[in-house]
């Protein structure tokens, strides 16, 4: 009497877990590929660190959870075993890739050491001098960028040459942040 509804609920739960895991993996792939090349960055480095920590720690788990959607009862035993071993192997490889990047590259962030200009009409639009902070490894470079707020959580960042800006639209700030 209760077996059929529970069975249907489990099927729905397995699908939710599988599709959520696939969505998580899509976000991971976006983050480590295209997301690294676009000109949008988190406004707050703590939010960025938390996001990347969740993405990097959750990826092997998400790969394992895709088993809920890939292993089917009607599949042959050999196919089930192949799927399980392939998924576990991919999980181990991903985990090793993440650990390798964690300890060889490290995590860095662009930090603002000087706000050079603020836009006269929108003070949140600024020209900033930034350094790439790689923690104990020091600094990995400098840049001068214009930052514009985007969706509350992000900056739209573009490199700018301060000798070519329209000084009538910008106010000299010289503020450390």
- Give the pLDDT band (50/70/90) at residue 2: low
Q: Tokens at residue 80, please?
A: 């089930």
Examine the pLDDT at 3 and tell me if it is beyond 70.
no
What pLDDT score was predicted for residue 9?
A: 85
Full-model pTM: 0.71
> In angstroms, how far apart are the furthest CA atoms of the chain?
78
Asked if residues 70 and 83 have their Cβ atoms less than 8 Å apart, the reply is: yes
- Give the pLDDT band (50/70/90) at residue 138: confident
Find the helix or strand (DSSP H, E) in which 145 lies: strand 139-150
Q: Tokens at residue 120, please?
A: 């006269």
154-165 tens-digit pLDDT: 999 999 998 899
Q: Are strands 40-42 and 139-150 parallel, antiparallel or unpaired?
A: unpaired
3-state secondary structure of 155: strand
Measured CA distances, 10 to 7, 18, 144, 174 (Å): 5, 12, 54, 60
47-97 tens-digit pLDDT: 888 888 898 888 888 888 887 777 777 778 888 888 888 888 888 887 787
Examine the pLDDT at 127 and tell me if it is beyond 90.
yes
Measured CA distances, 108 to 22, 62, 97, 165 (Å): 27, 25, 18, 29
- Which residues, other chains included, contact 145 with Cβ-Cβ below 8 Å and sequence gap of 6+? 110, 127, 128, 130, 157, 158, 159, 160
């Amino acid at each position: 009497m209760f077996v059929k509804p529970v069975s249907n609920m489990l099927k729905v739960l397995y699908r939710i877990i599988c599709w959520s895991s696939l969505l998580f993996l899509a976000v991971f792939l976006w983050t480590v590929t295209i997301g690294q090349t676009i000109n949008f960055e988190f406004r707050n480095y703590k939010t960025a660190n938390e996001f990347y920590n969740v993405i990097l720690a959750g990826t092997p788990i998400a790969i394992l959870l895709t088993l809920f959607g890939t292993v089917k009862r009607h599949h042959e035993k050999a196919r089930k075993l192949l799927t399980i071993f392939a998924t576990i192997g991919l999980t181990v490889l991903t985990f090793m890739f993440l650990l390798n990047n964690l300890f060889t590259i490290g995590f860095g962030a662009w930090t603002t050491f000087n706000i050079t200009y603020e836009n006269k009409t929108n003070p949140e639009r600024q020209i900033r001098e930034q350094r790439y902070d790689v923690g104990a490894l020091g600094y990995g470079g400098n840049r001068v960028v214009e930052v514009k707020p985007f969706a509350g959580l992000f900056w739209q960042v573009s490199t700018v040459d301060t000798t070519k800006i329209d000084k009538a639209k910008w106010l000299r700030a010289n503020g450390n942040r």
